[in-house]
Amino acid sequence: MAEPENLPSLDEVPSLEDEIFSVASRVENARDSSPRIRLPWDKAPQALDGRFILVGTAGFGTFVVIDVIMMWAPLMMSRRPSVLPQMVTLLLLAFGLGSLLIWKVGGSWRPFGIGMMFAWIFLTLISVGFLTGLTL
Protein backbone atom coordinates (compact mmCIF):
# COMPACT_ATOMS: atom_id res chain seq x y z
CA MET A 1 0.00 0.00 0.00
CA ALA A 2 1.16 3.53 -0.68
CA GLU A 3 2.65 5.61 2.02
CA PRO A 4 0.63 8.69 2.95
CA GLU A 5 3.62 10.98 2.36
CA ASN A 6 3.96 9.71 -1.26
CA LEU A 7 0.33 10.45 -2.18
CA PRO A 8 -0.35 13.77 -3.88
CA SER A 9 -2.68 16.18 -2.13
CA LEU A 10 -6.22 16.62 -3.43
CA ASP A 11 -5.34 20.02 -4.94
CA GLU A 12 -2.67 18.43 -7.14
CA VAL A 13 -4.82 15.55 -8.45
CA PRO A 14 -6.61 16.49 -11.70
CA SER A 15 -10.28 15.68 -11.72
CA LEU A 16 -12.02 13.80 -14.52
CA GLU A 17 -13.58 17.06 -15.68
CA ASP A 18 -10.14 18.68 -16.02
CA GLU A 19 -8.85 15.77 -18.08
CA ILE A 20 -11.86 15.78 -20.42
CA PHE A 21 -11.70 19.51 -21.09
CA SER A 22 -7.94 19.49 -21.56
CA VAL A 23 -8.30 16.82 -24.28
CA ALA A 24 -11.17 18.75 -25.90
CA SER A 25 -9.15 21.95 -26.00
CA ARG A 26 -6.21 20.16 -27.66
CA VAL A 27 -8.53 18.68 -30.30
CA GLU A 28 -10.13 22.08 -31.03
CA ASN A 29 -6.75 23.77 -31.29
CA ALA A 30 -5.51 21.09 -33.69
CA ARG A 31 -8.64 21.46 -35.84
CA ASP A 32 -8.38 25.27 -35.98
CA SER A 33 -4.72 25.27 -36.94
CA SER A 34 -5.08 22.94 -39.93
CA PRO A 35 -5.37 24.67 -43.33
CA ARG A 36 -8.79 24.41 -44.94
CA ILE A 37 -9.38 24.16 -48.66
CA ARG A 38 -11.94 26.73 -49.83
CA LEU A 39 -14.28 25.45 -52.52
CA PRO A 40 -16.17 27.83 -54.83
CA TRP A 41 -19.52 26.83 -53.36
CA ASP A 42 -18.34 27.28 -49.73
CA LYS A 43 -18.81 31.01 -49.93
CA ALA A 44 -21.57 32.55 -47.88
CA PRO A 45 -24.52 33.60 -50.04
CA GLN A 46 -24.46 37.29 -50.80
CA ALA A 47 -27.42 39.58 -51.18
CA LEU A 48 -28.23 40.70 -54.69
CA ASP A 49 -27.15 44.28 -55.09
CA GLY A 50 -28.07 46.76 -57.79
CA ARG A 51 -24.84 46.24 -59.73
CA PHE A 52 -25.41 42.47 -59.96
CA ILE A 53 -28.92 42.98 -61.30
CA LEU A 54 -27.80 45.71 -63.74
CA VAL A 55 -24.96 43.62 -65.21
CA GLY A 56 -27.20 40.51 -65.35
CA THR A 57 -29.84 42.52 -67.21
CA ALA A 58 -27.15 43.69 -69.65
CA GLY A 59 -26.20 40.05 -70.33
CA PHE A 60 -29.87 39.18 -70.77
CA GLY A 61 -30.40 42.04 -73.22
CA THR A 62 -27.23 41.29 -75.16
CA PHE A 63 -28.29 37.71 -75.74
CA VAL A 64 -31.83 38.76 -76.76
CA VAL A 65 -30.44 41.16 -79.38
CA ILE A 66 -28.04 38.53 -80.76
CA ASP A 67 -30.84 35.94 -80.80
CA VAL A 68 -33.24 38.23 -82.70
CA ILE A 69 -30.55 39.06 -85.27
CA MET A 70 -29.65 35.40 -85.82
CA MET A 71 -33.20 34.07 -85.97
CA TRP A 72 -34.88 36.91 -87.91
CA ALA A 73 -34.10 35.67 -91.43
CA PRO A 74 -34.98 31.97 -90.91
CA LEU A 75 -38.29 32.83 -89.24
CA MET A 76 -39.31 35.33 -91.98
CA MET A 77 -38.76 32.94 -94.90
CA SER A 78 -41.70 30.99 -96.32
CA ARG A 79 -39.53 27.91 -96.82
CA ARG A 80 -37.57 27.59 -93.64
CA PRO A 81 -34.07 26.19 -93.96
CA SER A 82 -32.45 24.18 -91.23
CA VAL A 83 -31.75 26.31 -88.19
CA LEU A 84 -29.38 23.77 -86.68
CA PRO A 85 -26.33 26.07 -87.10
CA GLN A 86 -28.15 28.92 -85.37
CA MET A 87 -29.31 26.64 -82.57
CA VAL A 88 -25.80 25.30 -81.93
CA THR A 89 -24.33 28.81 -82.08
CA LEU A 90 -26.90 30.18 -79.64
CA LEU A 91 -26.36 27.27 -77.25
CA LEU A 92 -22.60 27.75 -77.35
CA LEU A 93 -22.99 31.48 -76.90
CA ALA A 94 -25.36 31.25 -73.95
CA PHE A 95 -23.94 28.30 -72.07
CA GLY A 96 -20.37 28.12 -73.39
CA LEU A 97 -19.51 31.79 -73.09
CA GLY A 98 -21.81 32.18 -70.08
CA SER A 99 -20.04 29.34 -68.23
CA LEU A 100 -16.66 30.76 -69.16
CA LEU A 101 -17.65 34.13 -67.74
CA ILE A 102 -19.02 32.59 -64.55
CA TRP A 103 -16.30 30.11 -63.63
CA LYS A 104 -13.09 31.23 -65.32
CA VAL A 105 -13.33 35.01 -65.67
CA GLY A 106 -15.50 35.61 -62.60
CA GLY A 107 -15.60 38.95 -60.87
CA SER A 108 -17.98 41.49 -62.32
CA TRP A 109 -18.51 39.37 -65.46
CA ARG A 110 -20.26 36.59 -63.52
CA PRO A 111 -23.74 38.21 -63.58
CA PHE A 112 -23.35 38.91 -67.32
CA GLY A 113 -22.92 35.16 -67.98
CA ILE A 114 -25.85 34.31 -65.72
CA GLY A 115 -27.99 36.84 -67.60
CA MET A 116 -27.09 35.23 -70.93
CA MET A 117 -28.11 31.80 -69.66
CA PHE A 118 -31.38 33.12 -68.25
CA ALA A 119 -32.12 34.83 -71.57
CA TRP A 120 -31.72 31.56 -73.49
CA ILE A 121 -34.03 29.76 -71.05
CA PHE A 122 -36.56 32.61 -71.10
CA LEU A 123 -36.67 32.85 -74.91
CA THR A 124 -36.97 29.08 -75.25
CA LEU A 125 -39.90 28.92 -72.84
CA ILE A 126 -41.72 32.01 -74.13
CA SER A 127 -41.39 31.17 -77.84
CA VAL A 128 -41.82 27.41 -77.37
CA GLY A 129 -38.37 26.95 -78.86
CA PHE A 130 -38.90 28.97 -82.08
CA LEU A 131 -36.48 31.76 -81.13
CA THR A 132 -33.72 29.36 -80.12
CA GLY A 133 -34.14 26.87 -82.96
CA LEU A 134 -35.31 23.90 -80.90
CA THR A 135 -38.63 23.26 -82.66
CA LEU A 136 -38.02 24.20 -86.30
User: Is 19 part of a structural domain of the chain?
Assistant: no
Tell me if 123 sits within 8 A of 64, measured CB to CB.
yes
User: Is 95 part of a structural domain of the chain?
Assistant: yes
- In this prediction, residues 1-21 reach a mean pLDDT of 64
Residue 1: band (very low, low, confident or very high) from pLDDT cuts 50, 70, 90? low
* Residue 61 structural domain: 50-126
Residue 56: band (very low, low, confident or very high) from pLDDT cuts 50, 70, 90? very high
Work out how many domains the chain is built from and give that number.
Answer: 1
User: Is 98 part of a structural domain of the chain?
Assistant: yes
Q: What's the pLDDT score for residue 67?
A: 92
Q: Dihedral through CA 36, CA 41, CA 42, CA 45, nearest 10?
A: 160
